[in-house]
Amino acid sequence: MLVLCVLFALLGAASNATGTVLQRKAALAVPAKDALRPRLMMDLVKQPVWVLGICGVVGAALFQALALVTGPLALAQPVFILELPFALLIALPVLHRTLPKSGWISVGCMVAGLVLALASAAPDGGTEQAPMYRWIPAVVLCVAGIAVAVASARHRPSGAARAALLGFGAAVANALTAALLKSAANTFSDDGFGAFLAAWQTYGFALCGVTAVFLLENALQAGSIAASQPALTLGDATVSLLLGVLVYSEHIRTGWWIVPELAGIALITFGTFHLSRAVPLTGELGG
């Protein structure tokens, strides 16, 4: 089951990366004055490339649901770290560019770091459903984190800082979406479609998912993939790991295992930031 969890998560990361690249292409054609306004989404819906990007996101959500049903949140979501190298590798043919040697080294660091961190942490256990006394503080803290990120971004002009803040807000929304989706997917698996429609988590993940897409569109409009993606990938993995442990009581190894876990995280962080700067993507995808 854990192998299936990782496989579905990898497919989800690749699908989401494709969606991100296509959405970035569409976001470049949207006027800057529409940032953080509902009209942004109205402008994007008119673009076929954005619709294709959303299809990628929908496919990613389906793969994500399968991953969360077959394995713990703390295992499935960190695999989405690989969305960054997937996104850049998908963007390169569009740019008619090649990845330099240093970029491939960064990809290797991210993959090696992810394998080392997950193999050392060995996430497992946990419950299929979580009690409300765990959900309430988790939802409140996540919503507060999103609000702070958006408020901070509003006071900054378009650029890397704004894109990173909105990317982090999208990351928190993504992580909360995944946590709620895990509960809703397990309800569907165990009790059927009627119970799925009756569960508050179903509407919670739908609302959080829309919020995550909206924040991501604004992050992609504010700056390049290189600016928003590190905050998105690292933030999503970190918050998801915390939600898996604190909400679903999932277990990760501690003691001396923390040493290789931290080494893996260091490799991932180095690879993420270095890879995001390995290719000049400031005006990418036809901008």
- 191-203 pLDDT, tens digit each: 899 999 999 999 9
The number of distinct structural domains making up the chain is 1
Give the domain range for residue 212.
2-276
> Range with the lowest mean pLDDT among 1-10, 91-100, 191-200, 238-247?
91-100
Domain-located, residue 174 = yes
Tell whether the model's pLDDT for residue 280 goes beyond 60.
Answer: no
Q: Confirm whether 72 is domain-assigned.
A: yes
Determine the pLDDT at residue 95: 60
Instruction: With respect to residue 282, please indicate whether it lies within any of the assigned structural domains.
Output: no
Asked if 13 and 79 touch (Cβ cutoff 8 Å), the reply is yes
Position 37 confidence tier, pLDDT thresholds 50, 70, 90: low
Q: How many Å apart are CA 200 and CA 202, to the nearest integer?
A: 5
In a domain, 116, yes or no: yes
Q: How far apart are CA 258 and CA 255, in angstroms?
A: 6
> Is residue 219 within 8 Å of 235, Cβ to Cβ?
no
Cα separation, 57 vs 116, in Å, equals 28
> Can you read off the two tokens belonging to residue 192?
């059927």
54-82 pLDDT, tens digit each: 888 889 889 988 999 898 999 998 998 88
Does residue 283 form part of some domain? no
Helix, strand, or coil (residue 250): strand
Tell me how crowded residue 148 is: count the other CB atoms within 10 A of its CB: 14
Cα distances (angstroms) measured from residue 23 to each of 40, 51, 80, 120, 157: 12, 8, 18, 35, 21
Cα 143–218–213 angle (5° rounding)?
60
The SS3 call for residue 87 is helix
- Please give the mean pLDDT across all residues of the chain: 85
pLDDT-derived band at 40, boundaries 50, 70, 90 = low
Inside any domain, residue 287? no
Pick 63 or 224 by higher pLDDT: 63
Which DSSP string do the residues of 58-84 spell out, in sequence order? HHHHHHHHHHHHHS-HHHHGGGGGGHH
Distance CA 64, CA 79 (A): 10
38 to 47, 163, 178, 215, 270: CA distances (angstroms): 16, 18, 24, 11, 36
User: What integer pLDDT is reported at residue 28 of this predicted model?
Assistant: 65
Asked whether residue 162 is assigned to any structural domain, the reply reads: yes
Q: Is residue 129 assigned to a domain?
A: yes
| Threshold 0.85, pTM exceeds | no
Res 31: pLDDT: 61
